[in-house]
A and B are shown apart, each in its own frame.
Chain A
Amino acid sequence: MEVTLLLETTENAFRVLEQAREHATGLLDTAVQFTAEETRFREEKRGQILFTGAQRRRTQFQNFVGTTIILFAFWMLLSGKFDAFHLTLGAICCALVAYLFHDLLFANVRVGDMRVVAARFIAYIPWLIQQILLANIHVVSLVVRRRMPIDPRVVKFKTKLETDISCVTLANSITLTPGTITMDIKDGVFYVHAVSQKVADELNAGDMEDRVAHIFMEADHLYVEDVLDAARIYQTLRV
């Protein structure tokens, strides 16, 4: 009697275990599918997934035409001869180059917001020039003193910027503003060489990253990860 009960209980337990395993497998499959979906979505958002068929050809054609127009304007700026022969030559050359390099100039561009981005970028330039003037005053004040008041350090922060153009804008702005140089970018982490603690603190406030994110309409400055000394950062990089 008791043995039968025991057997039944064991059977029940095994059944429950089996159900749990099936359930877990199902969950795992869903999770895997979900991850794949998310990855695909992210890649699609970055414009890395290729369109198929007619849409892809249309995008290529649009890129080709846009590149040709920009290059032809550049050709006319260079050439300065506006007779028919030279213009034809230029058109042929630009079309050839645009055919070869149509995927370079307009990669990673999100459609539809170009005008806003251009307007905001132009509005960003005066602020940048003011920062560059400050940077040069800083360099002059560093160089002419007899004992230079420097205390260099390496600052590390994580960025939320996604496209490469916004990363380039941020990095070049950092290089041009007072006392900081972008040394490396690794998986969205900026390693910045700052000339003193004050400059590093100003950078960590995230003002510039917010401005760049505003230009390219992306997420804002998220958090400051850490301020480390050079030796420790160097070790993390080497490992």
Chain B
Amino acid sequence: MIRESDDVIVKAVARLLMPFIVVYALYVVMHGHYSPGGGFQGGVILAASFVLLGVSHGLGKTRRRMSEKVAGVISSIGVLIYGGIGALCLILGGNYLHYGKLSKLLHVTPAEARSLGILGVEIGVALAVMAVMCTVFFAIFTVGESPEDDRSVE
């Protein structure tokens, strides 16, 4: 169990950098089809920002934003978005993840539909990767202690 560190400097710098790191990660996710990066890389940067928060400010403040339960739900939602978009293409009469078919549903040209479809899939991948990485981080840093034990102590 990580308690709040008494290191003033790392805490303050983490607090200042944290929102910018998250916005940068979202930028990497959203611009995945013009620049390097994409869902996986953006998700890893998101998880890294939560690791920084957990290491500097303790797990309590991190759990207020992302607890184990929420991480589990989000990872399922990410997979659901990915699979749902793929299956929607199947229903509309294309192959799996054949984004062009989404144009009928969204009332846009097939090229724009392809772009939007890739964006959706990348958001799904980023959510799943972030949630799984956060779960791994929590599992490693709370060796043998579940959050329920912690709450009963408080």
Question: Taking the complex as a whole, does A directly touch B, i.e. does some CB pair lie under 8 Å apart?
Answer: yes
- The majority secondary structure among interface residues of chain A is helix
Asked if B96 lies at the interface with its beta carbon under 8 angstroms from chain A, I say no
Contacts of A81 in B (CB 8 A): 31
Q: Digit string of A52-63 for contact with B (CB within 8 Å is 1, else 0)?
A: 000000000000
* A116 to B64 CA separation, bound complex (whole angstroms): 34
Q: Is the CB of B11 within 8 A of A93?
A: no
On whether the beta carbons of A79 and B20 are closer than 8 Å, the reply is no
Q: Is A75 an interface residue (CB 8 A)?
A: yes
B151 CB-CB contact with A under 8 Å: no
In whole Å, how far is A106's beta carbon from the nearest beta carbon of chain B? 10
How many residues of chain A are within 8 Å of chain B by beta carbon? 29
Interface presence of A155 (CB below 8 A):
no
Q: Mark B9-21, 1 if CB is under 8 A from A, else 0.
A: 1011101101110
Number of A-B contacts (CB under 8 A): 61
Chain B residue at minimum C-beta to C-beta distance from A163: B12
Docked-complex contact A71 and B19, CB < 8 angstroms: yes
CB distance from A93 to the nearest CB of B (A): 4
Give the size range of B's interface with the partner.
20 to 34
The answer to whether residues A167 and B9 also contact, given A79-B31, A105-B15 and a CB cut-off of 8 A, is: yes
Residues of B within 8 A of A20 (CB): none
Residues of chain A touching chain B, judged by Cβ–Cβ distance below 8 Å, are 67, 70-71, 74-75, 78-79, 81, 86, 89-90, 93-94, 97-98, 100-101, 104-105, 107, 164-165, 167-168, 171-172, 182, 185-186
Closest A residue to B27 by CB, please name it. Answer: A78
Q: Which of A70, A97, A186 has the most CB of B within 10 A?
A: A97
Task: Kindly list chain B residues whose C-beta atoms are within 8 Å of the C-beta of A171.
Answer: 8-9
Residues in A neighbouring B27, C-beta threshold 8 A: 75, 78-79, 93
